[in-house]
A and B are shown apart, each in its own frame.
Chain A
Amino acid sequence: MLQVEGLRKTFATDRGGVRAVEDVSFSVEDGRFYTLLGPSGCGKTTTLRCLAGLERPEDGTIKLDDRMLSDPGNFVPTHARDIGMVFQSYAIWPHMTVFENVAFPLRVSEHAPSRDETRRMVAEALALVGLEGLEARPAPQLSGGQQQRLALARALVRKPKLLLLDEPLSNLDAKLRQRMRIELRELQRRLRITTVYVTHDQAEALFLSHRVAVMQNGRIVQEGRPRDLYASPASGFVADFVGDATFLPGEVVEGGVRALGGIVRCTLSEALAPGAKALLVMRPERIVVHGAPAGAANEFVGTLRVAAFLGDHLDCIVDVEGTELRARAHPTAELRREQRVWVELPPEYCLAIPDDGWRPRALTRTFDEDEG
């Protein structure tokens, strides 16, 4: 079991200290897949590097099973930690063959196995990731996907207690990324190796993880099972980061929130009492656009601004009382731009959370999110 308590890390820059990690605590049960999710600069990679011992935290403790890896007075260097790590760039050593890359962790260990044993363990690790038979290949001759597998084999060959993955899929093209996602999930479930994964891709996080921690400005702002994060985000930021959403600010009234020129019936989070300021969170895939009134509860009239065909549905933007809502319509619906439409907001999928002043960065959000 991995236990992290009160982790803190500050970087000195020209403009003074930057708090990269601020009081981060979490624990990962044995055999679990745990993901740190957040935008660039949120401190997720720094947290992972603290786990690896590549950064030395100023404060806090890191404990793996019964062994203290890091506390303010003592720091186990990276090479002495029982970990395996896959880097974003893969960090495949270009002057070695596939075999030499994977054998390296065995050869430098204090109890280096015999030659035969090394060969056996390397073959086993390569078989795990599907690279059998490529032992003699110089590493630079591998494709991007193969390098990624090689990095994984190298991280697993020592059978470490903890596997650390730093955005390992971000350098692959979309198709390959999907395939590797599945393989990685299956491999982790089969080996039951305790894993900490860092990514800015919410789909990856939801797909792979047992638990996800969403980070913002160096802190974990919410942690839980993927479905809980999606269904009950604690803040606008989390709702926005984990999946798509439309946000509407409004005042809490009995049974709903005043918005869209009326009252939107919705699920209120516990902290909200009538009169409080709230933020309505609505997932576009739950909002349905009709060409005629359907007589459903929570139905609003608006003007269709955009209707784009996406195969299994129409992606719509509807203007209701000056507010733009993202919604979906049936793929066969005959809708025209600027026509009157009726938007159905199912109350069970409208969630009102306390308004902390956060606002989304318009619809162009995805353009800014490319992680450096």
Chain B
Amino acid sequence: MATTTVARRAGIRFPAWRAEVVVVGAAAVLLSYLTLVPLAMLLLGSVSGGASVLDFQLTLRNFQRVLTDQASLELLANSLLYGAGAATLAFVIGTAVAWAVERTDVPGRSLWYGIALVPIIIPGIVHTIAWLFLLSPEIGWINAPLKAVFGVPLSIYSLPGMIWVEGLHTAPFAFVLMSAALRAMDPSLEEAAAASRANPWSTFRRITLPLLLPAIASVLLILFVRALEGFEVPAIIGLPGRIYVYTSRIYTSLNQYPPNFGLSAAYASVLLAISVVGLVLHNRATRRTERYTTVTGKAYRPRRVALGRYRYIAVAALGLYGAVAIVLPFLVLIYASLVRVYSVPSLDSFSELTLRNYAFIFTDELTRRSFVNSVVLGVLAASVVVALTSVIAWVTLRTRIPGRGLLDFLAFVPITIPGIVLGISLLWVYFTIPIRIYGTIWILLVAYVTRYLPYGIRATTAGLAQLHKELEEAAATAGARWWPTFQRVLLPLLRPTLVGAWVYVFIVSLRELGSSILLASSDNVVLAVRIFDLRDSGNYTTIAALSVILIIMLVALVAILQRVGGRTVREA
């Protein structure tokens, strides 16, 4: 009694239940294992000069090479150029569409809104391959007429080609972020400028632009980091074109003979460092954005610019964007999936349409296995991520357990780890420690869970934060214990959030390539890796068929989600 009184006076608060401490401790250990151990192993690996992972010899040779030799500097320049180019392109497209939809009176806004979002569903690897079909120098749809007229084709196998494909693919992401920024802006700020007799141009220059600047910076930075982290375009376009960036260099230094583990780890560390710096800057810019905009947190009725005659030009431009981003890629994939050998369409090719490619997919053992593996992994990863992050979110928001902030932080760390960097880190971990899961789907499960923890924690924290704490307290004062409160109040209210997070993680797991490419082999092959391998063996028409099926599946899934999610939201 006496000692507890002393402790209370000193302001120490002992957790009420031991169970809490156990739960938080277990979560902290699990999260550290998932996020910190791979990073530690990666750094250790990057200073090892041994021929294999187990043969550790301390050396700085890898870093010396990565930071000083000519090829490495070219690699750095290429990577930065590629990231900056793709980010800028995505930003320009996304912002233009966002501005048209949010701030002008262009006709058919909801249609354009949908068109701007749909490409998000298309997996990067599928998008990239569709553009191979469109812009390949020999057989690309777009290049055939160009060659006929100008004599020279556009080559996709170039840095501008890579920037084009990646930029086009991330434009919807830029659209989402910029339209949110535009929507969060209080129009009365601009109206006050107008009332102070500023003309539209100086209103834009002196009010709108400075207010949007932090948002613009934060969006550009996140686009840059995402472009650098991506593996699809650098691998599928960059490797044949012999244009290397960090992600593809990490891959080749592992895939050469003998594989250079230390060097790839050093490249991965550099990429990780760039990514961390980019995201730290992004966070700063975002915090500034929030300071500017979330004064009330309400959505404003925006001021719309009357386009007048220009609205037809705007509609034409948006239509062209829809054609380029959705219609053309999808058409070319359907066409390619129905022919024996891919070529520029002609009367001959249309007379020989076949379902052979689809038949192959359903009979090919490896493809079938990759499909099963991906679905199983998607279900497992989504379930684990949602379960784990909802516990963490609850602990962070609803308890005062010491160390809860650390849990939140640990769950967020993987946002900085590019997929391929995680892949190589996990190689190091599971070659070193005696847990034999390399070559099974379990190592992929570890990778996916780690990669998508940040998405899960973001979604569940946001969802739970929206639920007033008093809703749970009211259940307690009504006589409900913990479990009935959880089951009958918290869970039903949180269901839309949890379903949304689950489906999101399921979808991104289904198409994950960056870490899978290093961790998957024949037994634990997954869809994206299977597509990658089929391309290596030149089976483009089969890939097209597989892509079409994948897209249809994902679109169906999202449609179902919107039905289900929409209903749950209406119910609430």
> A-side interface residues toward B, CB under 8 Å?
10, 12, 16-17, 52-54, 56, 58-59, 72-73, 77-81, 83-85, 87-89, 91, 93-95, 104-105, 108-109, 140, 151, 154-155, 158, 164
Contacts and interface: CB of A to CB of B under 8 A. Distances in A.
Size bracket of the B interface: 20 to 34
B468 A95 contact: no
A16 B493 contact: no
A77 B484 CA distance: 14
Nearest to A83: B477
A100 to B, nearest CB: 9
Given A104-B488, A108-B484, A109-B479, A17 B11 contact: yes
Contact of A95 (B476, B478, B571): B571
20 contacts: A12-B400, A53-B476, A54-B476, A72-B1, A72-B4, A77-B481, A78-B477, A79-B480, A84-B477, A85-B477, A91-B470, A93-B489, A104-B475, A104-B480, A104-B488, A105-B478, A108-B475, A108-B488, A154-B474, A164-B477
B20 interface: no
B478 A54 contact: no
B572 interface: yes
Contacts of A88: 470
A87 B476 CA distance: 12
Given A12-B400, A77-B476, A95-B492, 10 more contacts: A53-B476, A72-B1, A73-B1, A79-B476, A84-B477, A91-B470, A93-B489, A94-B572, A105-B480, A154-B474
B491 to A, nearest CB: 10
Given A12-B11, A12-B13, A12-B400, A91 B474 contact: yes
B20 to A, nearest CB: 13
B470 A87 contact: yes
A89 B477 contact: no
Contact of A91 (B4, B468, B571, B572): B468
B288 to A, nearest CB: 22
A56 B16 contact: yes
A305 to B, nearest CB: 35
Contacts of A151: 474
A59 B8 contact: yes
B460 to A, nearest CB: 18
A89 B484 contact: no
A78 B475 CA distance: 9
A78 B8 contact: no
A94 B16 CA distance: 30
Interface in B5-55: 5, 8, 11, 13, 16
Q: Which of B4, B477, B479, B488 has the most CB of A within 10 A?
A: B477
Contact of B473 (A59, A91, A94): A91
B10 to A, nearest CB: 9
B471 interface: yes
Q: Which 3 A-B pairs have the closest CB atoms?
A: A105-B478, A91-B474, A78-B476
A17 B476 CA distance: 27
Contact of B471 (A77, A91, A105, A155): A91
Interface string B485-496: 000110011000
A87 B474 contact: yes
B473 A78 contact: yes
Contacts of A54: 473, 476-477
Contacts of B480: 79, 104-105, 108
Nearest to B481: A79
Nearest to A102: B478
Contacts of A52: 473, 476-477
Interface in B475-525: 475-481, 484, 488-489, 492-493
A59 B571 CA distance: 44
Contacts of B489: 93
A357 to B, nearest CB: 28
Given A58-B8, A79-B480, A95 B572 contact: yes
A16 B572 contact: no
Contact of B474 (A73, A80, A85): A85
B551 to A, nearest CB: 34
A89 B468 contact: yes
A59 B8 CA distance: 9
A104 B11 contact: no
A266 B470 CA distance: 49
Q: Which of A17, A52, A56, A154 has the most CB of B within 10 A?
A: A17
Q: Which of B474, B478, B484 has the most CB of A within 10 A?
A: B478
A77 to B, nearest CB: 8
Contacts of A164: 477
Interface string B540-559: 00000000000000000000
Nearest to A13: B11
Contacts of A93: 471, 474-475, 489, 493
Contacts of B5: 72
A77 B480 CA distance: 10
Given A78-B473, A78-B476, A95 B11 contact: no
Nearest to B482: A79
Contacts of A85: 473-474, 477
Nearest to A138: B571
Contacts of B4: 72
B537 to A, nearest CB: 53
Interface in B319-364: none
A108 B16 CA distance: 24
A87 B5 CA distance: 32
A94 B488 CA distance: 12
Interface in B373-401: 400
Given A12-B400, A95-B493, A95-B572, A154 B478 contact: yes
Nearest to B474: A91
Contacts of A81: 477
A84 B478 CA distance: 6
Contacts of A91: 468, 470-471, 473-474
Nearest to B7: A58
A56 B480 CA distance: 18
A79 B484 CA distance: 11
Contacts of A158: 478-479
Contacts of B493: 93-95
B117 to A, nearest CB: 27
Nearest to A17: B11
B13 to A, nearest CB: 6
A154 B470 CA distance: 14
A113 to B, nearest CB: 13
Contacts of B571: 95
A1 B535 CA distance: 80
A108 B479 contact: yes
Contacts of A53: 476
A182 to B, nearest CB: 25
Nearest to B4: A72
A104 B477 CA distance: 11
Contacts of A155: 477
A150 to B, nearest CB: 11
A78 B485 CA distance: 12
Nearest to A85: B477
